[in-house]
Chain A
Amino acid sequence: MLTLPNWVCKKEEYIAQKDSDYFITKSLLGIIRMLRQLRFHKQVKFKCSSSVGATILSIIIIILCACSHKSAFLLCISALLFILLSILDGKNIFRLLKHSIAITFLSSLVLFPAIYFYGNSTILLIPVKTFLILLSIGLLTTYYNWHSILDVMNKFHVPTIIVFIFDTTLRYIVLLGETAQQILYSLKIRSIGKNKQKSKALGGVMGVVFQKSKKMSEEMFQAMCCRCFTGSYSNLHKQKLTYIDFIMFLIGVIYCWLFFVLERV
């Protein structure tokens, strides 16, 4: 019969000290979750339009918003964006507002010294502009998926190899993000008590992710060569313009006109 040594039978009262892992949970995993949302979010069904009109309208709004010095024009833009936001379901509205407000708040903090010392109306408009630009990008990615936005680049004759690089980069960031997430979770599960050398653990995670990325890129290049890739890339997928695209172009033109009228006042 097996006899256990005394030290094994001794009752042990070990309570692990709580360690703060906010850096891992909030920062790193947060970034990975955001990247996943960009590519895999549940897109709103909006079948009557291609993404061409919406992308152009978003670009116009971003440029005009960045150039504007008048609060009246920004109010006009916010009216349009809030109308588009109100069509979405509660979950998406909450998600978009949460992200936009959080980043606007951060940018306001950075701007705070400038507002305090040289406060004028133009500086005060910057957080509002940030909020509106973020909201418009959020709305675009909510209404349309990533690949349909990439197709707009094709439509505007952006070299297909650039579109291809954009797409594969985002895909591999997400895949590598998933790998990093799994390693971080396993690290959290195995971590007991306080760890004063978190940077060392993170170094290990980054090392594994880097090795994986190298292997993935090599394998992908070989797979492409096996399918006769010679350096040029073209995309067959073509989107047809619909009447809603033309309505969006028209809204873009109206906003351009509003910009010039209101900026003159």
Chain B
Amino acid sequence: MILFDRVSFCYNKNQETSFILKEVSFSFKKGAVNGLIGKNGCGKSTIARLIVGLLEPSDGKITITDEFNAKPYYFSGMIFQNPDNQIVGTTIGDDIAFGLENFNLSSDEINDSINKAASLFHFENMLDIPVSKLSGGQKQMLCIASVIALNPCWIVFDEPTSHLDPWARIEFWKIINELVINKTIGIIVISQLPEDINRFDNICVLNDGEIYFNDSVNKFKELKSLPYGIEFPEGWKLEKLLEDEK
């Protein structure tokens, strides 16, 4: 579980008015796709960076626990929006190995983890292929494989489908659902696309640094209005129209 307890954050500590997050409290649980939505600049990416430890909260406490893994050695990984900015290795194998090497694992353990992660994304016969030859979708998949190889408790995806074509998006959500069913890795997806909202089990809506809504998708559907800049998926709108006509 990830627990935010009255967490505040500001980039410039000298300016008290520049708070990105204002005493937010919420939690994410494993075994479900946790969605985090909100308009531009509301603090979604800041929350992601707080979870993985790239930023420290100005005030409040963030607790990450794992009820399924007693002794986790790696709590949370993050997948950034642009795959080109996070691929480190020259080949697929090198990129997956990068994080594992930082753990000082033996070469057998590293090779074992590389093969496991690569087979999940059908990269097992492509380990020596240079990353420059991969398509945008394959690069995004490689980024996910590289983080999954580290066996984290949680993965935060920062707008993961924005660089993917529709078919790669379907493939991406298949993998996410598999991870959710296995309950091995907790999933948090930050997205602005209405079509991604369909895939969430729980939704946390951020508005101007505060939590506007944090509950299941079914309850989110029942909301009468949403903050400016956030919209329901088109399918839901149609569903509501039909229900109103009945």
Contacts and interface: CB of A to CB of B under 8 A. Distances in A.
A157 interface: no
Interface in B110-147: 110-111, 128, 130, 132, 146-147
B77 interface: yes
B94 A223 contact: no
Contacts of A233: 98, 101
B82 interface: yes
B88 A223 contact: yes
A146 B90 contact: yes
A223 B103 contact: no
A149 to B, nearest CB: 10
Contacts of A219: 80, 82, 85-86
B132 A227 contact: no
Nearest to A236: B97
B54 A226 contact: yes
Nearest to A235: B94
Interface in A117-170: 145-147, 150, 164, 167-168
A212 to B, nearest CB: 10
Contacts of A230: 102
A216 interface: yes
Interface string A78-117: 0000000000000000000000000000000000000000
A115 B230 CA distance: 72
A222 to B, nearest CB: 5
- Interface footprint category on B: 20 to 34
A227 B146 contact: yes
A228 interface: yes
Contact of A175 (B84, B128, B147): B84
Most buried by B among A147, A167, A226, A228: A226
Given A236-B107, A237-B94, A228 B74 contact: yes
Contact of A227 (B49, B93, B147): B147
> B-side binding surface: helix, strand, loop or mixed?
helix
Nearest to B95: A227
Nearest to A226: B78
Interface string B56-100: 000000000000000000100110101011101011011001110
B52 interface: yes
B49 A222 contact: yes
Contacts of A167: 90
B82 A234 contact: no
B66 to A, nearest CB: 17
Interface in A193-232: 216, 219-220, 222-230, 232
A216 B82 CA distance: 9
8 contacts: A147-B94, A167-B90, A216-B84, A219-B86, A228-B103, A233-B101, A236-B110, A237-B128
Interface of A: 39-40, 145-147, 150, 164, 167-168, 171, 175, 216, 219-220, 222-230, 232-237
Closest CB pairs A-B (n = 7): A223-B86, A227-B99, A147-B90, A228-B102, A219-B85, A226-B78, A236-B97
